[in-house]
Amino acid sequence: MDGLGKILILIGIVLVIIGIIWTAIGKLPGDFVFKKGNTTVYLPIMTSIIISIILSLIFYFFGKFK
């Protein structure tokens, strides 16, 4: 398989992963919501960790293709 095919497969996998994360935002167990009166504070800790891991993997694989 040539380089372009590998990149297209990688882009497809990344889009699927982003779609799964996008539907799960705000529903992950490590995301905290604090409500008091009219104030709401949202701390997406688990979502941030997962996005960080995915971006690290993407940059790692793109570094391998160079």
Convert the pLDDT of each residue in 5-63 to its tens digit.
888 888 898 888 878 777 766 577 888 889 999 999 988 888 788 888 888 988 888 88
Total-model pTM:
0.56
Bridge partners of residue 64, in order along the sequence:
none
Domain boundaries, the chain: 26-66
Q: Where are the beta strands (DSSP E) in 1-66?
A: 31-36, 39-44
CA torsion angle for 17, 19, 23, 28 (degrees, to 10)? Answer: 20
Q: Using a CB cutoff of 8 Å and minimum separation of 24, what contacts does 27-31 make?
A: none
